[in-house]
Structure 1
Amino acid sequence: KAARTDLEMYVAVLNTQKSVLQDETDAVNVELQDVCHLLEDEKQSHEALKQTWQMANDQFLESQRLMMMDLRRMEGVLTTEQQRQIAELQQKDEVREAQERKVKQLEEKREKQEKEQEERRKLSQSRLEKEKNGSLEGSMGDYPSTSGSAHQME
């Protein structure tokens, strides 16, 4: 009779464990479905955004093409003197842009050098502090500990 009771208790425990595991499995499946839905929504949003960007890019390129055609038509009716002036202005623009690029490169180089200098300064300061702390610890070893001296005086 005791064996039967033990067996019934064992079966009850197993059924409880099975029920708990089934509940956990159901919860994980629901969570997995939610994640899959979110992923699918994200994919659709990404695709829509990609299409929007492509349309915007196509429109921009078309407007650029039309502007270039207009510009060529206008250049065709300019006098030789006007064309010379335009070429001169374009050359000045190119020189100015080259100078701006050079200034930007120099500024970036200067910033990089300043960062490197600051890092070297910090590293040097850190080394000095370590050496200072190391020499203090070394010199402290020469003196007797103060923790025992108060007891000795009593």
Structure 2
Amino acid sequence: MEALITIILSSIIVVISYSLFATISNQLNSLVKENGKELQYNLMNMSLLRDVNKAIDFIYNEPNLILYNYDDTIIEYHFLTKGIVRNTNVSIDTFKIGVEKQSLQIQKKRISLLSLKIIFLKSNINANYVLESSLSKTLNRKFFYEN
């Protein structure tokens, strides 16, 4: 009789500890997935902000954004519903962040506003980025018909 009670109590302890372990494991897995998505968003946001601030000129053809730098490097962004692709001369980066809607609004002659509606963690983020063409590029286009 004592052996039966010991076996029943030990099996209850094993079941409780297994349930607790499974619950903690599921919580940690969901936390890792959420942090991975946050990391993807932060990397994309930092890259896009840096590239937009360094760019001297841009071309926007939905869903593509092409940024030109002083050192003649070209950075292309492709905004897709499944993710964002960043293509440079050196590498191709893929961010698993869906873009539901994008638009470019011209604020002034040289300044435009790129609006992205990003699907992130089951919610929508409206991100705005200010794009500015350099004054020298604008003058060269107007008076010398250069690209």
If the length of structure 1 is used for normalisation, what is the TM-score? 0.38
Q: Which has the larger radius of gyration?
A: 1
Structure with greater contact order relative to length (CA < 8 Å, sep ≥ 6): 2
- Bigger fraction of residues in helix: 1
**TM-score in terms of structure 2 length:** 0.39
